[in-house]
Amino acid sequence: MNMQQMIEQGTGYLLKTYSQVPVVFAKGKGCTLTDVEGKEYLDFVGGIAVNALGYGDAGLTKALTDVLDSGLLHCSNLYYNEKAIEAAKSLCTISEMDKVFFCNSGAEANEAALKLSRKFGHRDSPARTEIITMKDSFHGRTYGAVTATGQTKYHQNFDPLPQGFRYAVFNDLESVKALITKQTCAVLVEPIQGEGGVVPATKAFLQGLREICDEHDLLLIFDEVQCGMGRSGKPFAWQLYGVKPDVLTLAKALAGGVPCGAMLTNKDVASVFGPGDHASTFGGNALAAAGVCEMAHRLGDTGLCNEVTEKGEYLRTRLEGIRSKYPTLCTAVRGFGLMNGLALTIPPRQVVEACFAKGLLVLSAGSDVLRFVPPLVISTGEIEKAMVIVDEVLATLS
C-alpha cells in the first residue's frame, strides 16, 4: 500500500474529529520524523509538546523495555507497583508538591482537579462549588475540562454543560476579583496559555491570584499540561514565576510519549480525597510510570532545563529577527523556554502548510499564532535550519 492508499483507508475507518495533514509517519530519530515514503521532516511540533526527549531516546527506550521485560505492564491500583511509587516520589521531588494522583491525559488530570476543588468546597456549609477559569484557556475535551475551557467555540452544540464555571479575563486580576462570590472554591489557570495563542501570564497576575486565593480560601490550580515538564526552562512553570499553586495538573510530556496524566497537590488539600472518591483504571500503570521516572530524572538530575532556557533564547532571538524582517506579516514573539509563538497577520495555516512542504513541522495556536514546541533535546543547528525555512516561507508570502 502506498501513502495515498493508507490515508484513504485511515479516512475510511477513523472517526473524522481531526483535520489531518496528508502524511503517514513510519519512524522517528532525534527530532526528525520520516514518512512511509522516506521523506524526512524536522519536528517543531513534538506530538504537540509531548515528545520532550525526541524520538528513539536511549534512556527512555531502556526504561520502557525494562518494564516490558518484567512482564508487569499493569496490575491495577488495587495494589502497589514499584514504578508508580518511584514515579510519584521523583515527581513530588522535582515539582515540590506532596502527593500525586495518576491518570492518562490532560483532560483527566483537570477532571481530578475539578472534582477535588468541589469536594474541598463541600466541606463548608453551604457548599462552595464555583470555579473561576480564564477566557481563551484550554483544559481538554471531557465535559468538566471543556466547560472549564474559556472558549465558546468548544462548547457549541454540546450543551447542557456542567454548571458552576465563571470566566475571567487572563492577566486581568480585577476581572477575577469581580467573579469571586461566597460560592467560589477554586481558580484554574494555565501559567502560559498554549492553545489560546502562547500567551504567558504576567508575574503580577499569578502573584495576585495567589493572594486572592489565600484571602478567600480558594484552591489555586495551575494547568501545566502543556507548559510543564521542562518546557518553560524550569521543571515546572510555577518555579519560573515563583508562585506555587495548591494543585498542579500535568500530562503531555509527563511520560515522554507514553499516555499519562497527573494531578499533584499538597498534603492538606490531598486529605480532601479518600478511598473511593476518584479513580482511573490505567493511572500509574507501570509502563507510563517508567516514562515518568525517566522524565523526572532528566529534568531533575541533568542539565536539560538549562539547555531549554539557552536554546529558547536563541530561538526567540531568531524569531525576533524574522518579525522585524516581515513587519506586515509578524506582529509579536511570545513565550518562555521552548514554548514560543510568532503572532501573524495572516492565517497561520498558510505558513504551516508551506513549512510542511519544505519538510518542517510547525503548528498554529489560536487564530493567528504560529507555535513552536519542539522536543526539548532540539539542537541549535536544528533551530537554525527551522528558522531558515520559516524565513523562506514568509518571504514567499510577503
Ligand X SMILES: Cc1ncc(COP(=O)(O)O)c(C=O)c1O
| Site residues for ligand X per CB under 6 A | 105-107, 110, 138-140, 190, 194-195, 223, 225-226, 251
CA distance 226 to 316: 19
Backbone angles phi, psi at 91, to 5 degrees: -70, -40
Backbone angles phi, psi at 18, to 5 degrees: -125, 150
Compute the least distance from the CB of residue 99 to ligand X, in Å: 20
Which of 297, 282, 261, 327 has its CA nearest to residue 110? 261
Is the N-terminal amide bond of 348 cis, ω within 30° of 0? Answer: no
Compute the least distance from the CB of residue 325 to ligand X, in Å: 30
Strands (E), 150-235: 165-168, 184-189, 192-193, 199-200, 219-223
Contact 323, 331 (CB under 8 A): yes
Q: Which lies closer to ligand X via its Cβ, residue 138 or residue 167?
A: 138
Contact 345, 238 (CB under 8 A): no
Q: Which lies closer to ligand X via its Cβ, residue 105 or residue 232?
A: 105
Compute the least distance from the CB of residue 4 to ligand X, in Å: 29
The helix (run of H) or strand (run of E) holding residue 70 is helix 58-70
Q: Which lies closer to ligand X via its Cβ, residue 282 or residue 326?
A: 282
Q: Which lies closer to ligand X via its Cβ, residue 326 or residue 374?
A: 374
Compute the least distance from the CB of residue 292 to ligand X, in Å: 15
Residue nearest to ligand X (CB): 106
Q: Which lies closer to ligand X via its Cβ, residue 195 or residue 294?
A: 195
**What is the pairing mode between strands 330-336 and 199-200?**
unpaired
**Beta-carbon count within 10 A of 23 CB:** 16
Contact 91, 292 (CB under 8 A): yes
Q: Which lies closer to ligand X via its Cβ, residue 64 or residue 107?
A: 107
**What is the pairing mode between strands 219-223 and 184-189?**
parallel
Compute the least distance from the CB of residue 49 to ligand X, in Å: 7
Compute the least distance from the CB of residue 263 to ligand X, in Å: 12
Compute the least distance from the CB of residue 261 to ligand X, in Å: 6
Backbone angles phi, psi at 42, to 5 degrees: -80, 130
Q: What is the CA radius of gyration of the chain?
A: 21
Q: Is 83 helix (H, G, I), strand (E, B) or coil?
A: helix
Q: Which lies closer to ligand X via its Cβ, residue 64 or residue 260?
A: 260
Q: Which lies closer to ligand X via its Cβ, residue 139 or residue 334?
A: 139
Compute the least distance from the CB of residue 194 to ligand X, in Å: 4
Q: Which lies closer to ligand X via its Cβ, residue 108 or residue 382?
A: 108
CA distance 65 to 290: 9
Compute the least distance from the CB of residue 182 to ligand X, in Å: 28
Q: Is 335 helix (H, G, I), strand (E, B) or coil?
A: strand
Q: Which lies closer to ligand X via its Cβ, residue 151 or residue 226?
A: 226
Compute the least distance from the CB of residue 226 to ligand X, in Å: 4
Q: Which lies closer to ligand X via its Cβ, residue 138 or residue 326?
A: 138
As given in the structure block, the three cell numbers for residue 369 are: 499564532
Q: How many residues does the chain have?
A: 398
Compute the least distance from the CB of residue 110 to ligand X, in Å: 6
Q: Is 1 helix (H, G, I), strand (E, B) or coil?
A: coil
Alpha-carbon distances of 124 from 128, 182, 216, 263, 349, rounded to whole Å: 7, 11, 13, 23, 49
